[in-house]
Amino acid sequence: MATRTRPNAGTKGVARADREEQILTVACRLFGESGFASTSVADIAEAAGISKPLIYNYFGSKEGLYAVCVQHAAEILTAEIERTAASGTVGLARAVVTLDGMFRVLEPQPWLWHLVFDPTAPPDAATQKVLADYERRILDFGTEGVGELLRLAGNDDPTDTEAMRAVWENVFRTLVTWWLAHPDESPAAMTERCVRLFAAVFGEIDLPTS
Amino acid sequence: MATRTRPNAGTKGVARADREEQILTVACRLFGESGFASTSVADIAEAAGISKPLIYNYFGSKEGLYAVCVQHAAEILTAEIERTAASGTVGLARAVVTLDGMFRVLEPQPWLWHLVFDPTAPPDAATQKVLADYERRILDFGTEGVGELLRLAGNDDPTDTEAMRAVWENVFRTLVTWWLAHPDESPAAMTERCVRLFAAVFGEIDLPTS
DNA sequence: CCTTGATATGACTCTGGGGTAAGTTACCAC
DNA sequence: GTGGTAACTTACCCCAGAGTCATATCAAGG
């Protein structure tokens, strides 16, 4: 055709699976850094060097893409938590080990954290299911340690346990979020800081040799 | 005129100050319950039984209205915190007293809480200034108690103190938010729950007679 | 009465951003 | 070469929701 109305169309030799992975990587970063609501599909397309319809072609909708991003992040974070949980430590030592693992996992891609806790995440069913699953898998670990703490103090009220679990979950989140807001701090240094903070509240704790 | 093209126009005998207060009340509730981003000016107008332009006439913009709402809420919450702070208690007892006061203030209008901590609040200068002021006034109280706790454990690292303050602030927020999510629990019952939770972590605490 | 200012609204405009229709290009199998 | 298909884009539609304009009604003062 003499009239090249769409000079950039046509395949560039990138297989669908590869393109999907590339889009996913870019989207995770943008969604994580700016939040779901403040990130437009056009932004992602531009950052990935492709056009908007390709994203819709591969992921269906903005929500669809987001759900895959959250799934991706949740899998990484859950795997790390389950890994440290399997290491056999208990009580506060386990908390420290878990935090330490989280810092190390997040260091190369800190935006994953905010992805999972994005307050502007859509009420979309797929996304909510992924988040609910994540929540459920994480929950048990927290409830364990917290329940133990309360029983030690002679308290086995289940509602108290639930409230305390919410508190613990948010302490965990706060420590990670605080660390993310202080990028100069290494994971190791932050872990030590956590140990000092716990010690101030609970007294000295015996850590596993690592 | 035979052609009554705008049958509902014209004053209804409500003075500007009264209308502003009425709009403010409705807006606080809607913004607080659904968040800034999910609440449209049309929603507020409808809930207040007036038309959209009147809101723009009185408040200039959606952000302008929101800033006034946040100011309103922040004043109420700050006043309550400063009131309990002036009561003379210290340490954990003060934490309990402050929480108790907060539960009582929020009982008739729980939405005020989420208004101040809305993650979808606009980056608008006026709003941010109000929030920053609120933050600053609250901050000192937390830093005080937290600093004391750390010093007692032989720790006076200022960065540790800052991190611990962030943790404490979020524990406070979590307890209030948890309570708001359990509307059947009375302020008194929730205060007692907090006492039990603190006791489990810190051991028994001596409360002021009240 | 009749002007003036405050209170009020119906019916617009405009923009950002999600989503789509329809076509274009390249590669591969035969 | 010539279909068929997968990869890709341009240019568009469309709507919710912020914000505005021109006008209408009322109450009070002269």
**Mean of the pLDDT values across residues B85-101?**
92
Asked whether residue A4 is domain-assigned, the answer is no
Asked whether residue A6 is domain-assigned, the answer is no
Asked whether residue A208 is domain-assigned, the answer is no
Nearest-angstrom CA–CA distance, A142 and A138: 7
Instruction: Output the pLDDT for position A206.
Output: 76
Q: What is the nearest CA distance from B94 to chain A, expressed in angstroms?
A: 17
Instruction: Output the pLDDT for position B2.
Output: 39
Residue of A119, A153, A175 with shortest CB distance to B199: A153
Residue of A163, A170, A196 with shortest CB distance to B193: A163
List all residues 6 or more positions away from B185 whose beta carbon is below 8 Å from its beta carbon. B179, B193
List all residues 6 or more positions away from A82 whose beta carbon is below 8 Å from its beta carbon. A137
Place of tokens 């308290």: A155
Per the structure block, which two tokens stand in for B115?
Answer: 């208004």
Place A5 in a pLDDT band, splitting at 50, 70 and 90: confident
Domain count, chain A: 1
Asked whether residue A165 is domain-assigned, the answer is yes
Q: What is the nearest CA distance from A13 to chain B, expressed in angstroms?
A: 41
Residue of B149, B171, B200 with shortest CB distance to A153: B200
Q: How far is the CA of B11 from the C1' of D30 (A)?
A: 21
- Strand C nucleotides in reach of protein CB atoms, 7 A cut-off: 5-11, 16-27
Query: Quick one: DSSP state of residue A206?
Result: P
Task: Please state, rounded to an integer, the average pLDDT across all residues of chain B.
Answer: 94
The answer, yes or no, to whether residue A134 has pLDDT greater than 50, is yes
What pLDDT, in 10s, does the model give residues A73-95?
A: 999 999 999 999 898 898 899 99
What pLDDT, in 10s, does the model give residues B57-88?
A: 999 999 999 999 999 999 999 999 999 989 88
A201 near B CB under 8 A: yes
Asked whether residue A33 is domain-assigned, the answer is yes
B171:A171 CB<8 A: yes
Structural domain span for residue A172: 16-202
If one counts every other C-beta atom within 10 angstroms of the C-beta of residue A19, the result is 17
Asked whether residue B8 is domain-assigned, the answer is no
Residues from chain A contacting residue B152 (CB–CB below 8 Å): 200
Asked whether residue A3 is domain-assigned, the answer is no
The answer, yes or no, to whether residue B209 has pLDDT greater than 70, is no
The answer, yes or no, to whether residue B29 has pLDDT greater than 50, is yes
Residues 61-90 of B with CB under 8 A from A: none
Instruction: Output the pLDDT for position A209.
Output: 59
Q: How far is the CA of B129 from the C1' of C12 (A)?
A: 35
CATH number at residue A139: 1.10.357.10
**Mean of the pLDDT values across residues A19-43?**
98
Asked whether residue B97 is domain-assigned, the answer is yes
**Alpha helices for chain B (secondary structure H):** 16-34, 41-48, 52-59, 62-85, 91-106, 111-116, 125-152, 158-180, 187-202
Instruction: Output the pLDDT for position A1.
Output: 43
The answer, yes or no, to whether residue B173 has pLDDT greater than 90, is yes
Nearest-angstrom CA–CA distance, A53 and A40: 13
- What ipTM did this prediction achieve? 0.93
